Chain A
Amino acid sequence: MNKFSALAFAAVLSVASVFGAAPAVAGGTVSTDGSTSMEKVIGSLGEKFQLDNPDIAFTYNPTGSGSGISAVLEGRCDIGLSSRALKDDEKAKGLKPTVLAYDGISIIVNPSNPVKDLTVEQIKDIYTGKISNWKDVGGNDAGIVVVGREAGSGTRDGFESVTGTKEQCKYRQELTSTGDVIAAAQGNPNAIGYASTAAVGKTVKTLTVGGVEPTEANVKNGSYVVQRPFILVTKEGKALSAEAQKFFDYAVSKEAAEIIIKAGAVPAAD
């Protein structure tokens, strides 16, 4: 009998722990809405912020840059998140962009590949299938194996918008993580791939794009072009709530920079 009552007790406990864990928040809220690519950066910032301010509820709604921008405009969230620069008409509506960080995307190949540099135009032609042999860009006479990320990935979205290859890429492999792309480039002498700069190590060769290396400084000053900004969008002239302002100040602070680096981006704060 003892065994069974213990079992039943355990079952009741486990059910209770599932349903009984509603968060109790007394203070205000900070709501963010927008870019799915910023998930990692905003997620880690939010986590740390929440840890330091347990009475403020932090929410992040991953809807995409476009809908995040309109959410701020319509007052449905405190801070909008955009992984592209604001368009002029969006700025004209009174939206204020604050660059939180930059996301550099490295172009990687196998270490044995003699190619060192590609222009953006060449990268575009390779990914759309116009150039299919490495000898056309100064490499060996071998077919190019185009490796990329799955549809919906923020890195893919960033890469394809910078190179202007949206919906035209002819992938040989669509992998589901940065690590897999790096492993594929490592394993195939004719592969080319792209991955977040922070994640690329020494196992693969990083190409320069138009002669520029994807260093932190080059990403920040814009000379390395395969990159995009991570932007916090707020409304001009409309004060944030105290809680939202607190998060905003925290996010652009030096203190947050380390977390942003860990999340794989280059912080804009000096």
Chain B
Amino acid sequence: MTGSNNLKENIIYGIFLVLGLITVGFVLLISIYLIIAGLPAIREIGLIDFLFGTKWASTAAEPKFGILPFILTSVYGTAGAVIIAIPVGFFTAVYISKIAPKWVRTWVSGAVNLLAGIPSVVYGLVGMMVLIPGIRVVFNVPDGATLLAAIIVLSIMILPYIISVSVTSLDAVPKSYEDASLALGANHIETFFRVSVPAAKSGIAAAVVLGVGRAIGEAMAVIMVSGNVANMPGIFESVRFLTSAVASEMSYSSGLQREALFSIALVLFLFIMLINACLNFFIKRGQKLH
């Protein structure tokens, strides 16, 4: 009896191990493939010319492969989205977690979750139909497909992530902290901002980093609203992100152009690794605090 139980345990253990290794295997496979596929073009173009070149003309007779416009656009676009989404997301999270009556909380959280579930192509489509003409009229520019449009779309897309992770960490603040603060004579708002938020701060930081990761990796929505021309970024300029640079040319590319697209993907991958490392750092620090 014990023998068969042991065997059962071992088989189950084995299955879990294999399934776990499959995931690790995929990550390794993708990383190795990206490095192998991405390096040749960088070597051929030259790292400095590739990363700091300001001109991208991949199908010209004398092709130019400078991706600085894409890198800067991705950085500016993500930063812009985060700057808009942090205050909105943060205050929404505090409201949902600490202030809202129960029924409001249910409704607002439901809406936030729904926002997270909307496919990015829908964001892109709505952006194209509503936001782009809107920006054109409001700011009186010739065309609304700009970095600004991409920033607005991205900020709405990352809101639900920032809100729901922040709410989780605010909910996790022990009630005794808040009770103590209230007992000492602080009012509710003081308690939330002086006690609850600092206690949840690493979770909120993780939420922001998660939002950054989501924004920098988004391709579909930005490709539809940013105009997608390889210009140096400007708020009313038509721009192309790292992601959209890969996505827009991949389908018809060949030769060095294709290899260069893989190199862009590699650069993007490194960015996202960096962001993940930050995320782990904040989460680890959060665990130490509690």
Contact = CB atoms under 8 A, between A and B. Distances in A.
A152 B238 contact: no
A240 interface: no
B8 interface: yes
Interface stretch (A72-80, A115-123, A181-189, A254-262): A181-189
B15 interface: yes
B253 to A, nearest CB: 6
Contacts of B136: 188
Interface stretch (A44-52, A166-174, A229-237): A166-174
A116 B265 CA distance: 43
Contacts of A195: none
Interface residues of A, number: 31
Interface string A186-216: 0110110000000000000000000000000
A151 B59 contact: yes
A254 to B, nearest CB: 31
20 contacts: A1-B12, A62-B252, A145-B143, A150-B228, A150-B249, A151-B59, A151-B257, A152-B59, A152-B257, A167-B60, A171-B229, A173-B228, A174-B240, A174-B248, A176-B228, A184-B128, A187-B128, A188-B133, A188-B136, A191-B143
Given A152-B253, A173-B227, A187-B132, A7 B248 contact: no
Contacts of B132: 184, 187-188
B224 interface: yes
Contacts of A64: 254
Contacts of A174: 227-229, 240, 248
A269 interface: no
B12 A4 contact: yes
A143 interface: yes
B151 interface: no
B185 interface: no
Contact of B252 (A143, A154, A173): A154
A175 interface: yes
Nearest to B132: A187
Interface of A: 1, 4, 7-8, 11, 36, 62-64, 142-143, 145, 150-154, 167, 171-176, 180, 183-184, 187-188, 190-191
A131 to B, nearest CB: 14
B243 to A, nearest CB: 12
Nearest to B144: A188
Contacts of B227: 172-174
Contact of B251 (A152, A183, A184, A187): A152
Given A167-B60, A167-B61, A172 B128 contact: no
B19 interface: yes
A111 to B, nearest CB: 14
A142 B229 CA distance: 21
B20 interface: no
A112 B128 CA distance: 18
Contacts of A145: 142-143
B247 A176 contact: yes
Interface string B212-225: 00000000000110
B27 interface: no
Nearest to A152: B252
B143 A172 contact: yes
Interface in B229-253: 229, 238, 240, 247-249, 251-253
B170 interface: no
B92 to A, nearest CB: 30
Given A7-B15, A167-B61, A184 B145 contact: yes
Given A4-B11, A7-B15, A172-B238, A188 B254 contact: no
Given A8-B15, A172-B229, A152 B249 contact: yes
B57 A1 contact: no
B172 interface: no
B28 interface: no
Interface in B91-148: 128-129, 132-133, 136, 142-145
Contacts of A143: 142
A2 B115 CA distance: 38
B58 interface: yes
Contact of B142 (A7, A36, A171, A172): A172
A1 B5 CA distance: 11
Those 6 A-B pairs whose CB atoms lie nearest each other, nearest first: A152-B252, A151-B59, A143-B142, A145-B143, A173-B227, A150-B248
